[in-house]
Amino acid sequence: MNPARVNNEPGTKSWYVGWGNCHSEILQQMRQYYPKPHFLPEDCEIPSKEYIFMGYDDGATMHLDFISRLMWQAQLKGSKKWVLKPSPECEDICKAITFLVEPGDAVLVDTRVWYHGTSIVPGEFSLSIQSEYG
């Protein structure tokens, strides 16, 4: 990707990327920059894989995650709007939930049950980390 697009300069296409990291040495390095969230139980198991999401303007389209545990996501830079929607059998009763996360905020969502999508505040660079727990 060229530097102009990396920096979201006018006239370039926005981008959003996410990937999982399961390399133990890299995980040890990453975890030096953020603590285990205080709201997780002391005895909860943290898996050996974490995710990084970053980009401009775009985000993740509405989806369910096929993961084995609950997840938390922490917003490190920029702001991101989340939309949670119930499963189809509940959508006549339950309403969608929309909220904004900002740097320092963390979200706990059962993304295996709630359909969810995100969008980044226009013009902002977003960086977040995600992990499962159980």
Query: H or E element: which one contains 24?
Result: helix 24-31
Residue 34 clears pLDDT 90, i.e. is over it: no
**89 in Cβ contact with 40 (< 8 Å):** no
Q: What is the mean pLDDT of the chain?
A: 89
Which structure tokens are listed for 118?
Answer: 């995100």
pLDDT-based confidence at residue 105 (cuts at 50, 70, 90): very high
When pLDDT is averaged across residues 83-101 and rounded to a whole number, the result is 92
Residue 33 has pLDDT above 80, yes or no: no
- Contact between 132 and 79 under an 8 Å Cβ cutoff? The reply is no
Domain locations in the chain as residue ranges? 3-133
Given this model, what pLDDT does residue 45 score? 77
Within 13 Å, how many C-alpha atoms sit on residue 59's CB side?
A: 22
Of residues 134, 4, 2, the one with CA closest to residue 70: 134
Task: With a cut of 80, say whether residue 79 has pLDDT above it.
Answer: yes
Please tell me the distance from the alpha carbon of residue 82 to that of residue 72, in angstroms, as a whole number: 13
Question: Taking residues 113-123, what's their average pLDDT?
Answer: 92
CA dist 24 and 77 (Å) reads 24
Provide the 3-class DSSP secondary structure of residue 90.
helix
Which homologous superfamily is 3-133 in?
Answer: Cupin (2.60.120.650)
**pLDDT above 90 (res 58):** no
pLDDT at 47 over 80: no
The pLDDT assigned to 43 comes to 83
Residue 55 has pLDDT above 90, yes or no: yes
Is 106 in contact with 72 (CB distance < 8 Å)? yes
Q: Please determine, for residue 88, whether its predicted confidence score (pLDDT) is greater than 80.
A: yes
